[in-house]
Amino acid sequence: MTDGPLLEVEDLSVSFTTSRGNVRAVQGVSFTLEQGKTLGVVGESGSGKTVLSRAVMGLLPRLSAVQTGSVRYNGTEILNAPNDELRRLWSTHIAMVFQDPMTSLNPVQRIGNQITEPLKIHLKLSKAEAKETALSLLMQVGIPSPIERYEAYPAQLSGGMRQRVMIAIALACAPRLLLADEPTTGLDVTVQAQILDLLSQLQRDRNMAMILVTHDLGVVATRTDEIIVMYAGNVVERAPTTVLFKSMAMPYTEALLNSIPRIANPSHSRLVAIEGRPPDLIHPPAGCPFSPRCPYAQEKCHREKPPLVEAAPGHTYACWYPLTDANRQDRPEKPTAVTA
Amino acid sequence: MSELTDMHTFSDIEAEIEAEMEADPTTKKLGVFFWICVGWIALNIVLALTANLLPLPNPNLGNYNGPQNAGPGWGHLLGTDDLYRDILSRLIYGSRVSLVVGFFGAAIGMILGGVPAMISAYRRGRIDTALNTGSYVVLAFPALVAVIAIVSFWGHSLWKITLIIGIFGAPLIFRVVRASTLSYATRDFVLAAKSLGASDTRILARELLPNIAPTIVSFSLIAVATIIVLEGTLAFLGLSVQPPTPSWGNMLYEGSTLLSGAKGQTNTWLLIFPAGAMFLLLISLNVIADKLRSYFDVSEIKL
């Protein structure tokens, strides 16, 4: 193992060729991730976070996705690497937990089969060894009576159970990097917290690096070391978690934070939404991509795209008039402390 | 292969009975009717295989001391035809033709059409486009006319007919299997399997095949039924196995010539029995296909 970071992503861009034109789903994203750390990727639907995680993993269709830049795992370039090469990394080094546990398990294969499959392929375990490992994995992810569940079909399990199974499958070959793409979207709120806590706990136990992709800033607030906020395929803010919540610079980050409903709010209070829709990624606006929806946008914002600038070591943002700028006249009251 | 649409009129009646039987979705049963149909096909196959061992008169050689154009009776259970031949014996020997052409034709179609369909639907790209377009072109061709043309040039042995029908059935099977594979190929569990390092072969065999198997099984049975009708059509036109070797199709033709009394004789039984045998075999195949499809349909919508 080299001494560098586990994962280095540099200027990663992904575009899809469609009949309407090129969809620029991810533009110039860079970040690094150390062993055992967690990176949160936050953004609303269509911000490119799923494409980013799949590009890092090398799962995008080669026919339609054009990927440029660099993704280095443990010092080795894996972007656009041939499938045979990636197959050696998948599952044993990098694994992914998918968004929807309802569709990411094969409906006609027993749970046991699906967990033992990677164990048999990659670790060359015998049938009995694989079963033993699988049962212990099911236990680790908190599935009651694993012996019965081992024989069950996915349709016989609840959504939360299925996501636990998905996590067990992803962790089967002890990967060093786990990508969790909205792992709790399809689940109800109480189960969400359980699954996220489970992921964090397993990550600590295994000293595994994790990329947690979500639309919910509340989810990443307590569970990540660093956060990147994406909008329209661009990183608009990137900072260590504590720094981000203390001094967020980008209005979009603030908007995301404000859109989380709070327990302290009086009941029946109106949910705060971000007005408008994300921009068309085939013809992105000339200026700041968030400018059409930004409450603070000024003329310059519509004209020129702001570069990523470094506010403090490790904290970068792309905004002409950051919230941290003390000279802003129009700055409204800062959002109250985060209670996530 | 327009016969395919006609087949479904049978299953419409079936659907009503089925709806009652499936009132309780948690306990799915195939039902007595299904097993009667399975039994009937099994009986057909067993009789066809063991015809030589059964105490049957020679199907091709009549007993000229016996009755001619007899109706059903004790000496000849289903009667005799105008050449003093035993109709039951000819029916059983004739079923060999229908069964061989039907089942092997469908198998050939499945190998030539189904296997490329799965790979093509999973891999996509230019080869998929090419194969897909190719299947449209072949399907646009009137299959019966093409088969008749080829058979009249190439010959009508049993295996040649089976092969030709299999080849012309392949594009239809290609389309069905491709569509079915496509609906699963983009599901998350396929991507999940890929992300766990499963090879393409493994994904095709372990992730996709078990999911599309119910479709394949029930569609193959319908294909068998369709092919049996197609062979019957060819035989009726004198383009299948040649007389005196019996097939249900050429028996039907012989029966049709005796229907009007134009030959100075009439024998309605010679038309009724082969038609009835074919009808029962086809309805059994369709019922089984339909029942299996709904039995295997573990769609989560129902749960």
Distance CA B142, CA B166 (A): 15
pLDDT band at A255 (very low <50, low <70, confident <90, very high): confident
Q: For B190-256, give the DSSP string.
A: HHHHHHTT--HHHIIIIIIHHHHHHHHHHHHHHHHHHHHHHHHHHHHTT-SSPTTS--HHHHHHHHH
Provide the 3-class DSSP secondary structure of residue B74.
Answer: coil
* Residue B195 to residue A96, Cβ atoms within 8 A: yes
Lowest-pLDDT range of A38-42, A103-107, B2-6, B118-122:
B2-6
* Residue B199 to residue A87, Cβ atoms within 8 A: yes
When pLDDT is averaged across residues B30-47 and rounded to a whole number, the result is 92
Lowest-pLDDT range of A314-328, B20-34, B270-284:
B20-34
Q: Which of A92-101, B55-64, B274-283 has the highest mean pLDDT?
A: B274-283
pLDDT value at residue B173:
93
pLDDT value at residue A179:
93
Distance CA A48, CA A42 (A): 10
DSSP conformational letter for A155: G
ipTM comes to 0.80
Residue B162, exposed/middle/buried by CB under 10 A (0-12, 13-18, 19+)?
Answer: buried
pLDDT in tens, B137-178: 988 888 888 888 888 888 888 899 999 999 999 999 999 999
Is the Cβ of B206 closer than 8 Å to some Cβ of chain A?
yes
CB B94 within 8 Å of CB B246: yes
CB A94 within 8 Å of CB A179: yes
pLDDT value at residue A95:
92
pLDDT in tens, A55-68: 999 888 887 889 99
Angle at B209 between CA B205 and CA B211, to 5 degrees: 135
Distance from CA of B111 to the nearest CA of A (A): 23
pLDDT value at residue A53:
92
pLDDT higher than 70, residue B12? no
In chain A, what residues touch B189 (CB-CB under 8 Å)?
103-107
Is the Cβ of A104 closer than 8 Å to some Cβ of chain B?
yes
pLDDT higher than 60, residue B230? yes
In chain B, what residues touch A96 (CB-CB under 8 Å)?
192, 195
Enumerate residues 155 to 194 of chain A having a beta carbon within 8 A of any beta carbon in chain B. Answer: 155, 166, 169-170, 172
pLDDT value at residue B245:
87
* Residue B197 to residue A57, Cβ atoms within 8 A: no
Where is pLDDT greater, at B10 or B108? B108
pLDDT in tens, A264-313: 778 777 777 887 778 888 888 888 888 888 888 888 888 888 988 888 88
Q: Which of B189, B202, B211 is the best residue to mutate to test the A interface, defined by the most A CB atoms within 10 Å of its own CB?
A: B189
| Among chain B residues, CA nearest to A104 | B189
In chain B, what residues touch A155 (CB-CB under 8 Å)?
298, 300, 303
Nearest to B196 among A63, A95, A100 (CB): A95
Mean pLDDT (chain B) is: 84
* Residue A90 to residue B194, Cβ atoms within 8 A: yes
For chain B, the 3-state helix, strand and coil shares in percent, each to the nearest 5, are 75, 0, 25
pLDDT higher than 80, residue A249? yes
Nearest to B189 among A105, A118, A155 (CB): A105
> Around Cβ B12, how many Cβ atoms within 10 Å?
8
CB A96 within 8 Å of CB A55: no
Where is pLDDT greater, at A324 or B222? B222
pLDDT value at residue B298:
60
Distance from CA of B15 to the nearest CA of A (A): 25
pLDDT value at residue B2:
46
Is the Cβ of A102 closer than 8 Å to some Cβ of chain B?
yes
pLDDT higher than 80, residue B88? yes
Is the Cβ of B186 closer than 8 Å to some Cβ of chain A?
no
Distance from CA of B169 to the nearest CA of A (A): 28
pLDDT in tens, A256-273: 888 887 777 787 777 778
Q: What is the percent of chain A with per-residue pLDDT over 90, rounded to a whole number?
A: 24
Nearest to B210 among A98, A104, A109 (CB): A109
Q: For B12-63, give the DSSP string.
A: HHHHHHHHHHTSSTTS---HHHHHHHHHHHHHHHHHHHHGGGS----SSS--
Q: How far is CA A143 from CA A80, A97, A220, B18, B42, in A?
A: 37, 17, 25, 38, 46
pLDDT in tens, B197-224: 888 899 999 889 988 988 899 899 999 9
Contacts of B303 (CB under 8 A, 6+ apart): A155
pLDDT value at residue B295:
82
Pull the structure tokens for residue B220: 């193959």
Pull the structure tokens for residue A116: 């033992």
> Around Cβ B188, how many Cβ atoms within 10 Å?
19
pLDDT value at residue B25:
45
pLDDT value at residue A250:
87
Angle at A191 between CA A147 and CA A36, to 5 degrees: 85
Provide the 3-class DSSP secondary structure of residue A196.
Answer: helix
CB B247 within 8 Å of CB B235: yes
pLDDT value at residue A81:
87
Residue A182, exposed/middle/buried by CB under 10 A (0-12, 13-18, 19+)?
Answer: buried
CA atoms within 13 A of residue B92's CA, in its CB half-sphere:
21
Report the DSSP beta bridge partners of residue A212: A40, A180
Tally the residues of chain B.
303
pLDDT value at residue B72:
80
* Residue B192 to residue A102, Cβ atoms within 8 A: no
Q: What is the percent of chain B with per-residue pLDDT over 70, rounded to a whole number?
A: 87
pLDDT higher than 80, residue B3? no
pLDDT value at residue B77:
77
| Among chain A residues, CA nearest to B189 | A104
Q: Which of B120, B195, B301 is the best residue to mutate to test the A interface, defined by the most A CB atoms within 10 Å of its own CB?
A: B195
Q: What residue spans of A209-325 are helical by DSSP H?
A: 217-221, 241-246, 251-258, 299-303
Q: Which of B120-129, B132-141, B181-190, B276-285 has the highest mean pLDDT?
A: B276-285
pLDDT band at A9 (very low <50, low <70, confident <90, very high): very high
Kindly list the structural domains of chain B, giving each domain's residue range(s) and its CATH number in brackets, ordered by start.
3-7+78-297 (1.10.3720.10)
Pull the structure tokens for residue B51: 């015809």
When pLDDT is averaged across residues A135-156 and rounded to a whole number, the result is 88
